[in-house]
Chains A and B, each alone.
Chain A
Amino acid sequence: MDDKKTIQITVNGQSRRCEVAPRQHLVDFLREDLSLTGAHLGCEHGVCGACSVRLDGQVVRGCLMLAVQADGRTVETIEGLTERGNVRDLQQAFVARNALQCGYCTSGMLMAAAELLDSRPHASREEVRVWISGNYCRCTGYQAIVDAICDVLAERKLARQGASA
């Protein structure tokens, strides 16, 4: 029981071959084995959203998935997203709006918000609130986070209109 399994996994664009214990969930694997500490571990039962990462392009709870299940799949963490620069506007809006204080929830918030921006570019403020209801923040009271996401929705809409004009 609990013999290690070999997995082949692509993390932030880099293919890796690793040995993992079946009981190890994805976030512990990313943080402890790969030293990618951007995804945080909060409640460890799927409620708080601090551990959110992307699996094959979709946001998932890193604590509700085993590392061994990620065999053959593609994982992206906040480090990868940051490096690619495609959430830079979102990160800048979080700073401009004071949408973080301690920062513990921030990588998860950015992960959730990034999927909203990609899949629901016309989301209303109410839809933003509903969308991020799965991510806890114990500092900001959420208003500033919603403000930041709504700013980016509006900016990207303007940019699209500019591009098509």
Chain B
Amino acid sequence: MKAPAFDYVKPRTLSAVFELLASHGDEARLLAGGQTLLATLNMRLSEPALLIDINAIEALKGISVHGLVLRIGALTTHSEIEASALVAEHAPLLALAVPHIAHRAIRNLGTWGGSIAYADPAAEWPCCLAALDGVVLLRSASGERRVAARDFFLDLYTTALAEGELVVACELPLAPPDSVFRFDELARRHGDYAIVGLALAARRVPGGLADLRLSFLGLGTTPIRARRTEALFEHAPFSALRLGALMDALLDELQPLADLTNTAATKRHLAGVLTRRLLASALAA
């Protein structure tokens, strides 16, 4: 199908974007990479009167280190993250996850900020942001605010973004040298939305893994952190001897939502399969 008619503007400054958002309200949509938006326009699932193309705004681009955080600009493409030496060094979880995002042609245009703002519960970046306890930087005409990942993803496609506000960047804590990350997902075809995926973060310590974090995609209306299960290993590291306790807690904690082709029981089972695989791999590291 063809998109309905709309108007298009490409402002040069953020203040111009805020003015356009203020005057057009819900009739306007921001256009970043467009890899979701253009599909929804073509299918007429979305019929905005105005597209505000933000790609001329240089302040939204680039990957950089600021003190103890890695900053990823909203307009950074998935391919740029894939090729980034800074990401490989300071946020290797993203480098592990990025090949799972759709296909090369999509990764060449799709953006980090678009994925965060769209907040698809089956997408890789919200899941990774949650695993890393990242922070979302939001800006509006009245200034900038910072929202932690756990407070940003509120419900299905619903975030803490307020009217007139946009995602300018995210900040991720720099990975310490003893950190270990794993990412995997189960999908029918490579690049499709996964049935379930898991981002694992931990620190390697004598006796096992400390600060274990388990963040799932595809299970609910937002990325799901298994916080009760993680808390079991707050004071003593996770080791292979405690795998049974972890799996019992996890399968009790996870309450997946079924989708069109997979029951909740299937999803819970597959989440367990992924968890065992990634834990074994992380312990062997």
List A residues at the B interface (Cβ < 8 Å). 1-3, 5, 21-23, 25, 28, 44-46, 49, 52, 55, 58-61, 63-66, 68-69, 71, 111-112, 115-116, 129-131, 133-135
Contact = CB atoms under 8 A, between A and B. Distances in A.
A76 B131 CA distance: 39
Contact of B8 (A5, A52, A133): A5
Nearest to B37: A64
Contacts of B4: 23
B108 interface: yes
Interface residues of B, number: 33
Contacts of A69: 31, 34, 53, 55
B5 A112 contact: no
Interface secondary structure of A, over-half rule: mixed
A109 to B, nearest CB: 12
A20 to B, nearest CB: 10
B108 A134 contact: no
Given A44-B1, A112-B104, A133-B190, A25 B38 contact: yes
Interface in B1-53: 1-8, 10, 31, 34-35, 38-39, 41-43, 49, 51, 53
A127 to B, nearest CB: 10
B90 to A, nearest CB: 23
Nearest to A58: B108
A5 to B, nearest CB: 7
A69 B3 CA distance: 15
B42 A45 contact: yes
Given A65-B38, A66-B38, A60 B109 contact: yes
Interface in B221-250: none
Contact of A1 (B7, B53, B102, B191): B7
A73 to B, nearest CB: 10
B62 interface: no
Contacts of A63: 38, 42
A58 B79 contact: yes
B66 interface: no
B1 A59 contact: no
B38 A46 contact: yes
B243 to A, nearest CB: 30
Contacts of A59: 104-105, 108
A63 B109 CA distance: 12
Most chain B C-beta atoms within 10 Å of own C-beta, residue among A52, A69, A135: A69
